[in-house]
Chain A
Amino acid sequence: MNYDVTIGLEVHVQLKTRSKMFCSCSTAFGAEPNTQVCPVCLGYPGALPVMNGEAIRYTVMAGLMLGCKISAYSKFDRKNYFYPDMPKNYQISQYDMPLCLGGSVDIDVGGQAKTIRLTRIHLEEDVGKNMHFARTSGVDFNRAGVPLMEIVSEPDLTSPEEAQAYLVALKQILLYAGVSECNLEQGNLRCDVNCSLRPRGTTPLGTKAEIKNMNTFKGVFHAAHAEIRRQTELLAAGEKIRQETLRYDPDLDITVPMRSKEYAHDYRYFPEPDLLPVVLAPETIQAWADQLPELPRQRRERFVREYGLPEYDAQVLVADKVVADYFEETARQAGNPKAASNWVMTEMLRQLAAQELEIGQAKITPRALGELIRMAESQTINSNTARQVFGILFAEGGEPAQIVKERGWGQVSDSGVLEAAVDQVLAANAKSAADYRAGKKPALQFLVGQVMKVTRGKANPAMVQAMLEQKLV
């Protein structure tokens, strides 16, 4: 039998607040264990949570970017379960009145556009991290209390490919919203995958199983495939799917049921009495809406309209907000959007890909690239030289004019100097000159090359060519 796949995702996004959700401890990544803790995030007796307003604002901004309805009144609840990584043995989360409801994410898979609906977005605190040593275990509570936004999708995804496309699109929007660093290596984006199968063409959803705590998009893709295989095999064998929690084993490429102890079922939610409900005035929500950046799609349209870029170029540039920001600043500095687009699309992205770097890691600033573009456009340097200068700026930074001057790379456009070089080359290559006159057009390129050689590449090639053509009439 053939099956239709249904996938829904719960994505946990770490917000980029500097302090934790309910105390002033730092959220910085990578500190020594238990150095970013206090009585509040350690759950000491008597310590009370106090809301970080930035976490609320970031969540609402994300909700606005995703087209959610923002709740004028929402509240926090206690989710009760015992686990050593939970300082209070309850997690402060939002149960029935989340900050954001509805919303959607547009995806594109194989040229097919599709809208994935969201159920809700709520805010909760992260837990600590259990660590196991040879003979003992410990808990690092640095992460405990870090604000997490949980984005829950409707079961609108029908393949692992769509799931991956959804995550890519979601990450792009969150980066645009500026609410999270979305750094996967640091666990900023973690995901639970709900997956079910039903006989092709039927409507009622099958029993779902949940793969917990995936932290790469590729992982989600492979885990979903593995889970579809597992469920297909079970159904083929006439067995029922159990509603259960699984983890993905990447080495064996299979999904494995978790021990029931690892996952409590009755969370006994009730309203958190230590926090007041969150009441957002319409003016507050409007003020935040006014701070929203463009959505990637709006920006793409603007690039085409405003800068006259081809659709494809605009799409490549907006894919990463940082790249798009870099491009816009470069275009402004260069006074030439088209040239800026060419440089960013070709040299910049090529070098980044070759060296596996993020644009923020390149040493070349938009101002330097803008200046470089100006020099190339005004023919102060030729295009080969410009690429060389780019390479130096990319690796070491600095000022283009300085680099060109230090290395003596300035393009020669002085007609007197050029004429002397041209005459020298013509005198030394009489045969080629004759060939050209006799109608062998390629001989001209050879002569231009010779002039470049004697000027060590600095000659303005257009002027050299014009000069040669004139002299060889």
Chain B
Amino acid sequence: MAALTELTAVELLEQLRRRACSSEEAVKAMGAVIRRRDPAIKGYLEVDEEAALDQARSADAARARGESGSLLGLPLAFKDVLNLAGQPCTCGSRILAGYRAPTDAGAIARLRREGAVFLGRTNMDEFAMGSSTENSAYQVTHNPWNPDRVPGGSSGGSAAVVAAGEAWAALGTDTGGSIRQPAAFCGCVGMKPSYGRVSRSGLVAYASSLDQIGPMTRDVRDAALLLKALAGPDPMDSTALDLPVPDYMAALATELKGMRIGLPKEYFVGGSDADVERAVQEAIAVCRKLGAEAVEVSLPHTHLAVPTYYIIATAEASANLARFDGVRYGTRTKADVHDPIEMYAKTRAEGFGAEVKRRIILGTYVLSSGYHDAYYLRAQKIRSLIRDDFDRAFGTCDVIMAPVTPTAAFALGAAATDPLQMYLGDIFTVPVNLAGLCGLSVPCGMTTDRLPVGLQIIGPAFGEEQVFRAGYAYEQATQWRHQRPPIADRTDLQQG
């Protein structure tokens, strides 16, 4: 049975199709792995195995009736920021403790229609704000490669459970790198789709003009499979565009002849750790061997991306999080209050964590009368310039390759002492969100400390096919996807 949980999602689905195993057996097998490993990882906030088994049995029954679905019987983990009808959705925050979502998110509904089974909620930085998952109000998640390191964030729980073999695949969300960065830190694949590719309906908003839901998987093919199911329009989200969804798996190939890879000169100026720089350069060399041509491109406004991101994202967040006021749902202060304003203040003071408060205050400030033009308006203008940078670059290349992060996973506790340093770690990921592009994180090596490094492949808006193609060809030409973190061995040995 151990082998079953080691498969990729595509492989598991093949087993299910061939009736070599049932979805129920798969859920049970994964439940056993989770019980063994997650106490050390703490990637899941909750695993509702009974509910998952019910769904799995329904999927098995559907298959027995001859029904099909691209994900029929495939169990998935999901970030705690997504609405599943009747399920808790806390966003890693105390303020939503006990809250249950009334309906399925648009993307979740699509997966359900394809027959997916939902295994459990994964840990995250509160309201997706953070790069370490330490901002969760509930627990600290550990990196499967080294328990003293962070898994990244904000989708750190999803990345950790996929990397630790506690899920075949998981859903994350990415506002400034929250899928790609934890995928890189934990050594799994993470896809941030183009803005408008996947419905945001039922995704609790952090920054509405940047948020996207995407898959976190063991290999590129699984990500292509899941994005095909996730993507498409939704009558409940007018920003989810009605464009045809390509068959991403059909776009995968093992050579890269004719592909032009753009290397932004601003991304390779010695700002990254040597191990990271080396791994990415080696990955580019592999791609050239596969037939790709490397060209230098320039993204001259790169140095403005992080401040621009932290102005726009926090401005939107300050409004998005205003609804958590204790009036209609969520927790409300138990203190004596005399008017609604005091009730809001106490409820929010008790319910939100430090990083969320920091960003709400930042966002409120940049929108305030007298500062609005200097910060928010200027940031919007720079956002256009950053978009223009990429438009020009994609005139001479098909995809851009870069590191996902300047460093590998940092130590637990490091971000808390220096939040600015944590913000600066987003330098290679936030431009993609600001420009509405797609970006894939693929494992491309290990540091001398035995921590994974991620290669970022950036494509133009709605250019997911060429990104998947490049990622798959590179991945198949290397062995990184077969690396397993030591956590698996340690816990499995202890248990048995």
Least CB distance from B73 to A in Å reads 27
Contact with B along A318-342 (1 / 0, CB 8 A): 0000000000000000000000000
Q: Is A80 a contact partner of B322 (Cβ separation < 8 A)?
A: yes
Least CB distance from A87 to B in Å reads 7
Q: Is A270 a contact partner of B319 (Cβ separation < 8 A)?
A: yes
Q: Does A234 contact B (CB under 8 A)?
A: no
- Chain B contact residue count (CB 8 A cutoff): 45
Known: A46-B105, A46-B205, A80-B322. A266 touches B369 (CB 8 A): yes
Residue of A with least CB distance to B106? A48
Query: Which residues from chain B contact A44 at a C-beta distance below 8 Å?
Result: 102, 328-329
Q: Does A83 contact B (CB under 8 A)?
A: yes
Report how many A-B pairs have Cβ atoms within 8 Å: 103
Near A by CB (< 8 A), chain B positions 279-330 give 315-316, 318-319, 322-325, 327-329
- Chain A contact residue count (CB 8 A cutoff): 30
Q: Is A273 a contact partner of B344 (Cβ separation < 8 A)?
A: no
Q: Does B367 contact A (CB under 8 A)?
A: yes
Q: Does A139 contact B (CB under 8 A)?
A: yes
Near A by CB (< 8 A), chain B positions 373-394 give 376
Q: Does A403 contact B (CB under 8 A)?
A: no
Q: Does B412 contact A (CB under 8 A)?
A: no
Contact with A along B313-353 (1 / 0, CB 8 A): 00110110011110111000000000111001000000000
Query: Which residues from chain B contact A292 at a C-beta distance below 8 Å?
Result: none
Residue of A with least CB distance to B127? A45
Near A by CB (< 8 A), chain B positions 179-229 give 200-205, 207-209
Residue of B with least CB distance to A81? B322
Q: Does A274 contact B (CB under 8 A)?
A: yes
User: A49 vs B319: C-alpha distance in the bound complex, in angstroms?
Assistant: 14
Out of B202, B323, B344, B376, name the residue touching A88 (CB < 8 Å): B323
Q: Does B272 contact A (CB under 8 A)?
A: no
- Between B203, B316, B323, the greatest number of chain A beta carbons within 10 A of the residue's beta carbon is seen for B323
Q: Does B451 contact A (CB under 8 A)?
A: no
Q: Is B238 a contact partner of A276 (Cβ separation < 8 A)?
A: yes
Q: Is B340 a contact partner of A274 (Cβ separation < 8 A)?
A: no
Query: Which residues from chain B contact A266 at a C-beta distance below 8 Å?
Result: 368-369
Q: Does A90 contact B (CB under 8 A)?
A: yes
Q: Does A281 contact B (CB under 8 A)?
A: no
Residue of A with least CB distance to B241? A276
User: A26 vs B201: C-alpha distance in the bound complex, in angstroms?
Assistant: 21
Q: Does A43 contact B (CB under 8 A)?
A: yes
Q: Is A84 a contact partner of B323 (Cβ separation < 8 A)?
A: no
Q: Does A165 contact B (CB under 8 A)?
A: no
Query: Which residues from chain A contact B87 at a C-beta distance below 8 Å?
Result: none
Query: Which residues from chain A contact B96 at a C-beta distance below 8 Å?
Result: 45
- Between A42, A45, A50, the greatest number of chain B beta carbons within 10 A of the residue's beta carbon is seen for A45
Return 29 A-B CB contacts under 8 Å, by A number: A39-B102, A43-B323, A43-B328, A44-B328, A45-B83, A45-B204, A45-B329, A46-B82, A46-B83, A46-B89, A46-B202, A47-B201, A48-B200, A48-B201, A50-B235, A87-B323, A89-B323, A89-B325, A268-B368, A268-B369, A268-B372, A270-B315, A270-B316, A273-B208, A273-B239, A273-B316, A274-B238, A275-B239, A276-B239
- Given contacts A270-B319, A274-B238, list 6 more A-B pairs with CB under 8 A: A42-B328, A46-B82, A46-B202, A82-B322, A261-B339, A274-B239
